[in-house]
Chains A and B, each alone.
Chain A
Amino acid sequence: MKVNDSNRSRKTLATLAVICGVLQVALAPNIGIANGRANFAFVLAVIVALRYGGRISILTGFGAGLFFDLTSSGPIGLMALELTVMSFLLGSEERDKLSEDPGASIQLTIIASVVVAILYNLSMMLVGQSVSVIDALFLRALPTALLSCIGFAPFMYFLSRGSSGPRLHGRGGHSSMGGGHFSTKGL
């Protein structure tokens, strides 16, 4: 089955990008646990990777990471690199994992958020920002990963509903995909 509504998919992508961008700038700096801050650039990248995959997810990962780098005070290019690679890896399968297999999508997101946060903080250590691995992991990386996963949850809920409602258990069949994969309903 083909989904031929390119305008709708464009609109969905743009909506996601704007929402995540606004949340990254407006919400993330103001709500945190320990030194952790939610990473909505990661949320955008992982959603696009799991939902669309392929070339668009790689470009989105790069763009989202670059936006994160430019709106934060860390080195420019580090998060862009991580999200680009993550998007490539998560988006390599040619299917909409977000709707077809929400359970696996959640697992992948949790793993990816932890890996991205740890790598980012360890990289910051390598450029001389800190000497304590404990601080980097427990006061920065893990709270960031936790908040990013929390930030991902509402997107997951709305996007996995698609045409057949939330299916957080088990794999969805192809027949249930309908034409709702690019729906902005609920956003």
Chain B
Amino acid sequence: MDLNSGMPGSLKRGGQGSNTRLLAILCAICVVLFTLSCREGDTGALHSVRGVVQTVTSPVRYVGAALTTPFEGLGNVFSNLTADQQTLSDLKAENEQLQAENAQLSESEQTATRLQGLLQLKSTYNLQSTAARIISGSSDSWTSSVTIDKGSSSGLAVGMPVTDSSGVIGQISECGLTTATVRLITDENSGVSAMVQSSRAQGQLVGSADGTLKLTLIKTDQQVNVGDLIVTSGLGGVYPKGLPLGKVTNVEKSTGAMYYDVTVSAFTSTESFEEVLVITSLSEDQQATTDDIAEADSQETSSSASTTSTTTDAATDSATTSGQ
């Protein structure tokens, strides 16, 4: 029986030796592509090709995002099914509280609308930004990223920070002509220079595979408490200073440890596929001042000997794109 007799002539099944030769050739091509993509920068030829492909496929992404929006919470079904009674009780209580707050907020909203005209004169952060819309999540299991509907044709570039109405969501890691990939702050390879708003203790906010955020490099002689607000420190010059990142949900201190283990809950969520702002440039007053840098340096110096390499990282917003 010849199942391939219906195939185009050039694609008919060849001998085993012929297939092995083909396999060897394609494997060699794959290895070359893999090596090149790991070594080349973001402006390399392969990344350009990827940008073109992502541009071409962006209409399909739009449609997919629109169609799957109702099912975005599907991944939570399993955890919801196994929620215990205590969790459900807590959620009911929280729901009642939120309903009460909602009534207050509705009143506040009207007030805010009136004040908005005044605030437009000078927005809180005076951001030079471009609005964009999230059209897709990550298409692989490895990265926490989203795709937005603006690219280099709109003046965007790799490294630009991205925020939504709640705060920072990440920074652009790849930029095509009409779309861009945003590496979220929850990505395992993401790192943002951050500080505790109340105590000004500076550290680095890093993501993890399970989606939680960790604030690292906060020394145990500094102040950080559950509920503290975490904002960007402006060090590194990527993110504007003072943008909200999240709230401290847990602080642990191991015996003999030099730093706290701080868990942070992000303010932002990309599940609802909403609009975002891409910050295209920073003014001087949005960057860390020399005082901030000196403070960070003194923080580093006091714990210098054993932590030289890690504290250097804290002063630099991560723009990791290796292997991408």
Q: Which of A's residues lie within 8 Å of B, judged by CB?
A: 1-6, 8-10, 22, 24-37, 52-56, 58-59, 62, 65-78, 80-81, 84-85, 88, 92, 94-96, 117, 120-121, 124, 127-130, 132, 135-136, 139-141, 143-144, 174, 177, 181-182
A80 touches B30 (CB 8 A): yes
Report how far A27 CA is from B223 CA in the complex, Å. 45
B34 touches A37 (CB 8 A): no
Q: Are B2 and A70 in contact (CB under 8 A)?
A: no
A37 engages B5 (CB within 8 Å):
no
Q: A72-B139, A73-B143, A74-B324 are in contact. Are A30 and B8 (CB under 8 A)?
A: no
Please indicate the chain A residues that have their CB under 8 angstroms from the CB of B54 in the complex.
70-71
Are B18 and A76 within 8 A (Cβ)? Answer: no
Decide: A70 near B53, CB < 8 A? Known: A22-B60, A35-B142, A52-B4.
yes
In-complex Cβ contact of A94 among B13, B32, B61, B188 (8 A): B13
Establish whether residues A6 and B6, one from each chain, have CB atoms under 8 Å apart when the complex forms: yes
Give the interface SS of chain A, mostly helix, strand, loop or mixed.
helix
B-chain residues with CB within 8 Å of residue A177 when the two chains form the complex: 1
When chains A and B are docked, how far (Å) is the Cα of A81 from the Cα of B26?
A: 8
List chain A residues, Cβ under 8 A from B181.
Answer: 73
Contact with A along B46-82 (1 / 0, CB 8 A): 1001100110010011011101110110110010000
User: What are 7 A-B contacts defined by CB distance under 8 Å?
Assistant: A25-B64, A37-B141, A62-B29, A75-B37, A77-B30, A80-B30, A135-B208
Q: Which residue in B49, B141, B147 is a CB contact (below 8 Å) of A35? A: B141
Please state if B3 and A81 are interface contacts (CB–CB under 8 Å).
Answer: no
Q: Contact between B71 and A31 (Cβ–Cβ < 8 Å)?
A: yes
Question: What is B's interface to A at a CB cutoff of 8 Å?
Answer: 1-9, 11-14, 16, 18-20, 22-23, 26-27, 29-38, 46, 49-50, 53-54, 57, 60-61, 63-65, 67-69, 71-72, 74-75, 78, 136-145, 147, 173-174, 181, 188-189, 208-210, 322-324
For B64, give its contact among A30, A92, A132, A181 (CB under 8 Å): A30
A27 to chain B, nearest CB (A): 6
Q: A70-B54, A77-B34 are in contact. List 13 more A-B contacts (CB 8 A).
A: A3-B3, A31-B75, A55-B11, A55-B14, A58-B23, A70-B53, A72-B139, A74-B143, A75-B34, A84-B26, A84-B27, A124-B323, A135-B208
- Whether the Cβ atoms of B12 and A29 lie closer than 8 Å is no
Task: Name B27's contact: one of A71, A85, A124 (CB within 8 Å).
Answer: A85
Q: Pick from A1, A35, A36, A85: contact of B1, CB below 8 A.
A: A1
Is A121 a contact partner of B50 (Cβ separation < 8 A)?
Answer: no
**CB-based contact A76/B34 at 8 Å:** yes
Q: Which residues of A contact B143 (CB under 8 A)?
A: 72-74
Cβ-defined partner of A73 (8 Å) among B34, B75, B208, B324? B324
